[in-house]
Chain A
Amino acid sequence: MTIVEEKSSINAAGGWAQMRFLPEIGDLSRIVVLGVLVVAGQILYPGFLSPENLRVVLTAVAGIGILAFGMTMVVITGEIDLSVAGVAVLSIVIGGLLLPTGSPALIIGATLLCGLCLGLVNGIFVAKLGVSSLISTLAMLGIASALANIFSAGQATYPEKIAEYMWFGRGALLGVPVPIFLLAVMALACVFMTRSSTFGRKLYATGGNARAALLSGIRIDRVKIVVFAFCGLCAAITGLIESARLGYINPAAFPGLELKVLAVTVLGGAALAGGTGSVFGTLVATLIIGVVNNLLNQMGVSFYMQQVVTALVILVVVVPGMRNRRFVK
């Protein structure tokens, strides 16, 4: 929350321009961490790099990863989206209400559309009304998860008869499980969007120095609305994948998802002050979390100890980056 100081000290010095050339250093350290973890995993557990285990690792984090891509883009613009868990749950519940129609296109379409619309509402509140995104998306989290419970009367629904729905969680494409396939596709799309398109430049400019961006003719309100809508869509996709994996649509699903996703995003190098971060970094961070969780599972470490270890990993990876950034000035 040291928004004021960080913005003036880092980003006014051309932070976003630097970060387009510098992230290799930050990403490199993350890649090294990932590499060390993978090598250590393979030494400790010879089956670690087997296709079966890799499939387990990647499928487990695919949902979180996709959502973290959307979150990364929101964070790059200097905003935050705390509503993702609510948006994901309301989207799948809306899909669940349409299960009796038996039409996969309608069910999946409604799920994705719901996520997109809720994200759009978030964006409009932030960009047009100028409400702090921390508060408005916090309110959206409460509203969306309440509506999910109200619409479903708290009852879970089971999409198992809709094969196309289940495909998102349990299907495979060219031998690759669909969640992993989607993770890869979304990663490619998001990397392209942020690195090689005009929109990407607008994104970093908006977060780096909003006033400068505005004065150079960038419609920062539109940029923000687009990223919030996209983040909402990502939340719906994640909801779809996770509910299909579990085989049921639970209106009480995903408690605390926003914090997990934010943790991955920050681990990926995005600063909450905006203007920095990359989708590629977030992808590496997703893989780090996946590998750490998998290794801890193999060691038989309890779920609660895993929470503590994950928190420490984030701190260890994030803190040196923060200190460096102070010297960038």
Chain B
Amino acid sequence: MIIAEATSAPAVRASGLAQIIREPMLWLVLSILVLGALTSPHYLSALNIQNLLRNAALVGLLATGMTIVLITGRIDLSVAANMVFSVIIAVVVTSWIGRELGLRWIVKGNTFAGSPLIFVVISLLTGTAIGALNGVGVAYFKVASFIMTLVSLTALRGLSYLATNGAPFYLKGAFFNWLSDELWLGVPVSFVLLVVLVLFAHAFLSRTVAGNRLFAIGGNETATLYSGITTNRYIVASFALSGLFAAVGGLVFTARLKSVEAALAQGYELTAIAIAVLGGVALAGGTGSLWRVLTAAVGFSAGLNLLAIWGVPTWYQNLAIGAVLILAVSLTRLNHKN
């Protein structure tokens, strides 16, 4: 009740350059880059920036899907498990199809070398289907999204182990090399993919009726329902989109590692939530901008990369993530109070 009131009034927006200047995340990214340039000669090297953007592509994809669900006032804890599961299912099913066709798509026992097209289609379909399943549970069976996706997280991790017996699969082929290493005008192809997808998703959210309805559901669900909008369908769609983004994230992630295993990416759902929150998305729903989330993903990766360059142990990096997160929400909160 209190939450709905706080989120329903949209902030008055300044236009053009003034709006860009006011973005705190942008300033954070800039200051990290300047700090990096001042303290390390390698920070602004092309290689490091490319690495940084590859990381941003992965966490950005997960955070984008998460944001779409958060906008409707729900949460998707299954993104990381879904991303690993969809790739594992793609490996298993594609190699089964290969076996049926009499082709050797699994070489050396555990190396996948099958058709990338079938692989990609199956993984995207799996991710979307799992997302839609979450959505159906949440929308039609009225299971709290936190519980529904927590349950599917547990189940998907278990199923991923069962499908692989916990052993890794190696991924071989030109497609995986292309997705992880190819540069377009110096920018990694995975990051270009993220930007293009964010462009589409942003256009969907802000320029289409369906997108606006997602915001409406997050702002005031009862009012949206009473306006004659079938909220349930939109909720399912938002979860399906989150699943799709998770599957794309899975492709980007496993292409980089050239392997996939069930235990991969544990806890990434929390990273995705953290980035969405840093990007200004309210957990109560109804607000959120994918551009800010994209900036937050870059800022997050840039910050972690800087800590790594400084030689800060991973433990302190985790400490920094926690501290930044709590600082960000506390400041937002204090800002609201004023």
Q: Which residues of A does B touch, CB under 8 Å?
A: 1-8, 80, 125, 129-132, 134-136, 138-143, 145-147, 149-150, 154, 210-211, 255-256, 259, 262-263, 266, 271-273, 302-308, 310-312, 314-315, 318-319, 322-323, 325-326
- Taking CB atoms, residues of chain A closer than 8 Å to B195 are none
Q: Which residues of B does A touch, CB under 8 Å?
A: 1-4, 73-75, 77, 137, 141-148, 150-155, 157-159, 161-162, 166, 220-222, 262, 266-267, 270, 273-274, 277, 283-285, 313, 315-319, 321-323, 325-326, 329-330, 333-334, 337
A308 touches B162 (CB 8 A): yes
Interface centre among A135, A211, A322, A326 (most CB of B within 10 A): A135
- Taking CB atoms, residues of chain A closer than 8 Å to B146 are 1, 80, 262, 272
B3 touches A302 (CB 8 A): no
B325 touches A308 (CB 8 A): no
A259 touches B316 (CB 8 A): no
Give the number of residue pairs across the A-B interface with Cβ within 8 Å: 167
B143 touches A322 (CB 8 A): yes
A-B residue pairs in contact (CB < 8 Å), sample of 29: A1-B283, A1-B285, A2-B145, A3-B284, A4-B4, A129-B330, A132-B283, A134-B283, A135-B273, A135-B283, A135-B329, A138-B273, A138-B274, A139-B326, A139-B329, A143-B322, A143-B323, A146-B315, A146-B318, A149-B315, A149-B318, A150-B315, A150-B319, A259-B77, A259-B153, A266-B150, A271-B144, A302-B162, A304-B262
Select one of A2, A255, A266, A272 contacting B73, CB under 8 A.
A2
A323→B139 CA distance, assembly (Å): 11
A4 touches B220 (CB 8 A): yes
- Taking CB atoms, residues of chain A closer than 8 Å to B153 are 259
A305 touches B322 (CB 8 A): no
Select one of B148, B159, B317, B325 contacting A135, CB under 8 A.
B325
A263 touches B154 (CB 8 A): yes
B151 touches A315 (CB 8 A): yes
Once A4-B1, A150-B319, A263-B150 are accepted as A-B contacts, the answer to whether A135 and B144 lie under 8 Å apart by CB is: no
- Taking CB atoms, residues of chain A closer than 8 Å to B284 are 3-4
Select one of B155, B262, B317 contacting A311, CB under 8 A.
B155
Interface centre among A3, A136, A149, A266 (most CB of B within 10 A): A3
**Considering only CB atoms, which chain A residue lies closest to B282 in the complex?**
A132
B222 CB, min distance to chain A CBs, angstroms: 6
A1 touches B330 (CB 8 A): no
**Considering only CB atoms, which chain B residue lies closest to A137 in the complex?**
B326
Once A142-B319, A149-B315, A273-B144 are accepted as A-B contacts, the answer to whether A1 and B151 lie under 8 Å apart by CB is: no
A255 touches B266 (CB 8 A): yes
Chain A to chain B: the 9 pairs with minimum beta-carbon distance, closest first: A307-B158, A142-B322, A304-B161, A143-B322, A146-B319, A311-B155, A146-B318, A308-B158, A139-B326
Interface centre among B4, B146, B267, B284 (most CB of A within 10 A): B146
A142 touches B143 (CB 8 A): no
A143→B329 CA distance, assembly (Å): 15
Chain B interface, DSSP helix/strand/loop, else mixed: helix
A156 CB, min distance to chain B CBs, angstroms: 15
B201 CB, min distance to chain A CBs, angstroms: 20
A304 touches B158 (CB 8 A): yes
B155 touches A312 (CB 8 A): yes
B150 touches A259 (CB 8 A): yes
- Taking CB atoms, residues of chain A closer than 8 Å to B270 are 138, 141-142
- Taking CB atoms, residues of chain B closer than 8 Å to A271 are 144
A299 CB, min distance to chain B CBs, angstroms: 15
B144 touches A131 (CB 8 A): no
A307 touches B73 (CB 8 A): no
A8→B5 CA distance, assembly (Å): 13
A141→B220 CA distance, assembly (Å): 31
A305 touches B143 (CB 8 A): no
A259 touches B154 (CB 8 A): yes
Select one of B285, B325, B333 contacting A138, CB under 8 A.
B325
**Considering only CB atoms, which chain B residue lies closest to A136 in the complex?**
B326
- Taking CB atoms, residues of chain A closer than 8 Å to B266 are 255-256
- Taking CB atoms, residues of chain B closer than 8 Å to A141 are 270, 322
B155 touches A308 (CB 8 A): yes
Select one of B73, B142, B321 contacting A142, CB under 8 A.
B321
A139 touches B325 (CB 8 A): yes
A139 touches B145 (CB 8 A): no
B276 CB, min distance to chain A CBs, angstroms: 10
A134→B2 CA distance, assembly (Å): 17
Once A4-B4, A129-B333, A131-B329 are accepted as A-B contacts, the answer to whether A140 and B322 lie under 8 Å apart by CB is: yes
* Apart from the given pairs A6-B144, A266-B147, A305-B158, 13 other A-B contacts in the complex at a CB distance below 8 Å: A4-B4, A5-B222, A131-B326, A139-B321, A142-B318, A143-B318, A146-B317, A263-B150, A272-B146, A303-B161, A304-B161, A306-B158, A311-B152
